[in-house]
A and B are shown apart, each in its own frame.
Chain A
Amino acid sequence: MTELHTEGLVHVYRDGAVRALDGVDLRIRTGERLALVGQNGSGKTTLVRHFNGLLRPTAGRVLVGGVDVATMRVAQLARQVGLVFQDPDRQIFSATALSEVEFGPRNLGMPAAEREAAVNDALAAIGLEAEARTNPYDLGGARRKLLAIASVLAMRTPILILDEPTTGQDARGVERVRAVIEAVAAEGRTVIAISHDMRFVAEFFERVVVFLGGRIVLDGPPGEVFAERSWPALASTHLEPPLPAVVGARLGLGPTPTDDALVDALRSTAAGA
């Protein structure tokens, strides 16, 4: 079991200007699909950097699988938590797509046969199998970002964290990301994504955690977080619910965070009428 858990987590960056995390208590169960949302600078990225040990808490604790991250070695943590950065260029350094994706599993000491399968699966999952020999910098920005996802996916960590995976992706790219999330979740692994795209969040995640100024202000399933009673709290973070949630509320249909939910709700009222 690889539960993720923070207790009173506080983070103040060295320049001291901002309290990036201001007492975060969060428990993420194994296999959960969880979206972190909130304004730029609200602490989302800072939080996930604690999950893979890139940052040390100013106060409080982070536990992965019940173990305090502060006591874990980098290699030990890397087997548990894979983090894909928002900007792929902070992460990519190899000469070919293949060697980029191989790097993580190789570093983890994965046996050759398993490694090959992991790498091929990861490249196939994001649709870059034909580009294995391509230099990452000959791929466009959107495909380079998919490559960064593949390189973490190949490590087969129980927890996968994606920082804004859909930005810069076209409709097909978003579809790829969605398929990756579903496949990882279907294996019982945890997927955490930071996103500004409320439609994406509502459609593909079972739990939404809303941040404001380094604190959690809303936490629940999309139906709850985007329901009308949550709008004032959402508005305080300058987030807008997805369109079907707004339409459903105007029609008095109850929570309809997605097009599908709205269609179902319309159908049942039509049937009842």
Chain B
Amino acid sequence: MLTLESVTYRYAGAARPAIHEVSLRLAAADVVGLCGPSESGKTTLCLVASGLAPRTIRGSLDGRVLIDGEDVAGRPMHELVSRVGICFQDPSTQLSGVSSTVYEEVAFGPMNLGLPRAEIVDRTEEALEALRIGDLASRDPNRLSGGQMQLVAIAGLLALRPAHLILDEPTAELDPAGVSLVADAVAQLAAGGVSILIAEQRTDLLARVCHRVAVLSGGRVTLEGPARDVLANPRLKELGVAEPSAVRLRRRVGQAGLDIGRVERALEGATT
């Protein structure tokens, strides 16, 4: 269980808090989506939920962040990283910079945990397999395309087998196939009990993988609930969030006064 209790976070020197009285709960196997316009606090929320802020990014936090019932403020960082994984939008900031192959890069985390060799190999191969990037194993991670690099960064996280995973716009650099791989990996990890918080502009992806969705606006949670309801909420557009393709298509057809039943039946086949 990953819990935020009325969390307010203000960066050092900032006039206003970046997030304001945010409460969220992620139980095991929960996938919660986070959307909202740029600079609405999504990344800050991810940093706070992972325990990285205020620990490594100066600022003041009110409220509490609890991982499995324990306040993150009291836990050492090396323990946190094996329980909560966080992935950022830009993969080049995420890679270790010391690995000469993708295989070594993915193995970097488990090696740092001091695990037995056989387990390092198992975890590395499993993570490469989950994102179907085994064919990149011998490539130089610094010479991959942005999308391939992002998949390597995510694989590196998976190899740590965290109980909670925080993904901050993980698909920003990915092609549709990469987005699908991430979506599949999210579903598979959640089925295995991992709780996942995913910040995304792509509401089509959120519609596909999330159980619940929260919309941030000016640092506050302005909408929250089951993904299906939140993503069809007519306020979404005014909040600066793109409607999922299916929601927008339904609205357009409805507004044109056309028979929605026909379209619904076609949509049913198209989105499954």
Within 8 A of A (CB), among B218-253: 237, 240-242, 245-246, 248-249, 252-253
The interface stretch among B19-27, B53-61, B102-110, B144-152 is B144-152
* A140 in contact (CB, < 8 A): yes
* Chain A residues at the B interface, C-beta cutoff of 8 Å: 13, 15, 17, 38-41, 45, 86-87, 140-143, 164, 167-174, 196, 198-199, 238-240, 242-244, 246-247, 250-251, 259-260, 262-263, 266-267, 270
Query: What are 23 A-B pairs at a CB distance below 8 A?
Result: A15-B143, A40-B147, A40-B148, A40-B174, A87-B146, A141-B89, A168-B38, A169-B201, A170-B241, A171-B240, A171-B241, A196-B174, A196-B175, A251-B266, A259-B249, A260-B252, A262-B249, A262-B252, A262-B253, A266-B253, A267-B256, A267-B258, A270-B258
Contact A167-B172, Cβ < 8 Å, known A40-B147, A250-B270:
yes
Report which of A17, A40, A172, A266 forms a contact with B146, defined as CB distance below 8 A: A40
Let me know if B134 is at the binding interface, CB within 8 A: no
The interface of chain B, by Cβ under 8 A from chain A, is 36-39, 89-90, 139-140, 143-148, 169, 172-180, 201, 237, 240-242, 245-246, 248-249, 252-253, 256, 258-259, 262-263, 266-267, 269-271
Point out the residues of chain B lying under 8 angstroms from A172, CB to CB: 37, 240
Residues of A contacting B143 in the complex (Cβ-Cβ under 8 angstroms): 13, 15, 17
When distances are taken between beta carbons in the complex, the residues of chain A under 8 Å from B146 are 40, 86-87
Cβ–Cβ contact A250 & B201, under 8 A = no
Tell which of A40, A267, A270 has the most Cβ of chain B within 10 Å. Answer: A40
Collect the chain B residues with CB atoms within 8 Å of residue A39's CB.
147, 175, 177-178
With contacts A15-B143, A143-B38, A198-B176 taken as known, whether A170 is within 8 angstroms of B249 at the C-beta atoms is no
Asked whether A168 and B201 contact (CB < 8 A) given A86-B146, A259-B252, the answer is yes
In the bound complex, how far is the Cα of B241 from the Cα of A40, in angstroms? 26
B36: chain A residues at CB < 8 Å are: 170
> Is B176 a contact partner of A239 (Cβ separation < 8 A)?
yes
Contact indicator B176/A41 (Cβ below 8 Å): no
Nearest-neighbour CB distance to chain A for B272, whole angstroms, equals 11
B38: A residues at CB distance < 8 A: 140-143, 168-170, 173
List of A residues within 8 angstroms of B249 by Cβ: 243-244, 247, 259, 262
B152 to chain A, nearest CB (A): 12
Residue pair B37, A247 in contact (C-beta under 8 Å): no
Cβ-defined contact, A259 with B237, below 8 A: no
Contact (A259, B248) CB under 8 Å given A39-B175, A168-B172: yes
